[in-house]
Chains A and B, each alone.
Chain A
Amino acid sequence: MDVTDADFQEKVIEKSKEVPVVVDFWASWCMPCQILGPVLEKIAGDYKGKFILAKANVDQCPNTSSTFGIMGIPAVKMFKNGKVIDEFVGAQPEPNIRAWLDKNM
């Protein structure tokens, strides 16, 4: 699911009150983002709806990126009940991401 400044409130903040939403802040010019993106998508498929993966292209989300203090990408944040509960920056190996998800869900 792609999100932008216009629908971030609805698709991430509000939705995270029902189910955890993991937001991947990324950009087309960022190679580590290109590496991490498919890994997150694969994991999201494996977790079968236990969390929602939202892809936030920082070019489409300048205000949201600023609100959440994005200074390095890829930046991955988990939202629960409308708030960020944990985050990591940079491409990570798949087992580390799974451990991070399991710890937070």
Chain B
Amino acid sequence: MVYDVIVLGTGPAGLSAAVYCKRYDLNLIVIGKEAGAISEADEVDNYLGFVHISGMEMINKFVEHAEELGVEIHREEIIKIVKQGDNFIVDTDHGSYESRSLIYALGGTKRKLGLPEEKNFVGRGVSYCATCDGAFFRNKTVAVTGGSDSAAMAALLLSRFAKQVFIVYRRNKLRAFPVFVKKIENTENIKTIFNSVINEIKGKKLVEKIIIENTKTGEKSELELNGIFVEFGHVPNSDFAKNVGVETVENGRIKVKEDMSTNVRGFFAAGDVTTGGNDFDQAVTAAAEGSVAAASVYKLISEVG
């Protein structure tokens, strides 16, 4: 069976694309396992229609919506994508699927600190998900690395559990939404250490301290703590796309035109993996890109007939 379109990704971009594809009566499946970066947000209050909702609840509602419309979601691991003639073949750990077009919405993978000892401390103090692991650091001291919205949200969440939260950020000003920055400034147990990076983690079995380097003076200092929450943003998951010749820009995002098309005919992309949202990486921009991609697929399929 050859589908009109296979949507890759089950975050806001992929699910929104799927909903619109259904509206266009396209023959589709969605393949993906991850739930998108938004699923780890403790609270989302900037998506119209949801005044207060957790990221996980929001993504569950998106899935429910898509499935209610009859979208079939294959929770499978993507192994390879190849172009065969005008069509695309997607191989997963459970099978092989063919389609006339693709909407590629695989988002990104959380960036690591990049320290050689980091992997030894995962689950022993190093965490990439504050909503998952924050509660294990009750009355402890933790650091959040990064200055983005996700770093700010992580710090605010952790301040409810931890005794003390440090934000370690390489620049001299947080780049999170001003509303988060104000909250952080007004939270007693959060302290921001600017112009600084973590360049070593120390501990016998568990995280015990970090070495912080001041990026301006080169001065190093030790900070005793129990946990490090890495919030450095995401590395775009564009490798499968690159393998079929899709063009990316320097930071790895897929270069898309206004209609979400790429340089490969029939290959559309949406969400955090693209250049389309101006690096804004919001659920609302991802969902919007997904809808545009679906409209473009419909146009292409209609033209070809």
- Kindly list chain A residues whose C-beta atoms are within 8 Å of the C-beta of B35: 31, 34-35
- Kindly list chain B residues whose C-beta atoms are within 8 Å of the C-beta of A29: 54, 56, 131-132
Would you list which residues of chain B between 34 and 84 have a CB under 8 Å from chain A?
Answer: 34-35, 39-40, 54-56, 59, 75, 77
In the complex, the answer to whether A71 meets B75 with C-beta atoms within 8 Å is: no
The yes or no answer to B303 lying at the interface (CB within 8 A) is: no
Q: Which residue of A lies closest to B10 (CB)?
A: A35
CA distance A94 to B132 in the complex (A): 21
The yes or no answer to A3 lying at the interface (CB within 8 A) is: no
In the complex, the answer to whether A31 meets B56 with C-beta atoms within 8 Å is: yes
Q: A89-B122, A90-B123, A94-B93 are in contact. Are A31 and B133 (CB under 8 A)?
A: no
Total number of A residues with any Cβ neighbor in B under 8 Å: 25
- Kindly list chain B residues whose C-beta atoms are within 8 Å of the C-beta of A90: 122-123, 128
- Kindly list chain B residues whose C-beta atoms are within 8 Å of the C-beta of A23: none
In the complex, the answer to whether A31 meets B122 with C-beta atoms within 8 Å is: no
The yes or no answer to B234 lying at the interface (CB within 8 A) is: no
Q: Which residue of A lies closest to B38 (CB)?
A: A31
- Kindly list chain B residues whose C-beta atoms are within 8 Å of the C-beta of A31: 35, 39-40, 55-56, 59, 129, 131-132
- Kindly list chain B residues whose C-beta atoms are within 8 Å of the C-beta of A74: 132
Would you list which residues of chain B between 85 and 143 have a CB under 8 Å from chain A?
Answer: 93, 122-129, 131-133, 135-137
- Kindly list chain A residues whose C-beta atoms are within 8 Å of the C-beta of B59: 31
Would you list which residues of chain A between 42 and 95 have a CB under 8 Å from chain B?
Answer: 58, 65, 69-75, 87-90, 93-95
Task: Map CB proximity to B onto A16-40 as digits: 1 under 8 Å, 0 otherwise.
Answer: 0000000000010111111100100
The yes or no answer to B223 lying at the interface (CB within 8 A) is: no
In the complex, the answer to whether B131 meets A30 with C-beta atoms within 8 Å is: yes
CA distance A57 to B137 in the complex (A): 17
Q: Which residue of B lies closest to A87 (CB)?
A: B123
Q: Which residue of B lies closest to A89 (CB)?
A: B123
The yes or no answer to B301 lying at the interface (CB within 8 A) is: no
The yes or no answer to B33 lying at the interface (CB within 8 A) is: yes
Q: A29-B56, A31-B35, A95-B93 are in contact. Are A72 and B127 (CB under 8 A)?
A: yes
Most chain B CB within 10 A, of A31, A33, A58, A73, is at A31
The smallest C-beta distance from A84 to any residue of chain B, in angstroms, reads 12
CA distance A31 to B206 in the complex (A): 24
The smallest C-beta distance from B42 to any residue of chain A, in angstroms, reads 9
Most chain A CB within 10 A, of B93, B127, B136, is at B136
The yes or no answer to B146 lying at the interface (CB within 8 A) is: no
In the complex, the answer to whether A30 meets B75 with C-beta atoms within 8 Å is: no
Q: Which residue of A lies closest to B59 (CB)?
A: A31
Q: Which residue of B lies closest to A28 (CB)?
A: B56
> Which A-B residue pairs are the 10 nearest by beta carbons?
A89-B123, A30-B132, A72-B123, A31-B39, A72-B133, A71-B136, A31-B56, A93-B77, A72-B127, A31-B35
Listed A/B pairs (11) with beta-carbon separation below 8 Å: A29-B56, A29-B131, A31-B59, A35-B35, A71-B125, A71-B127, A72-B126, A72-B132, A90-B122, A90-B128, A93-B77
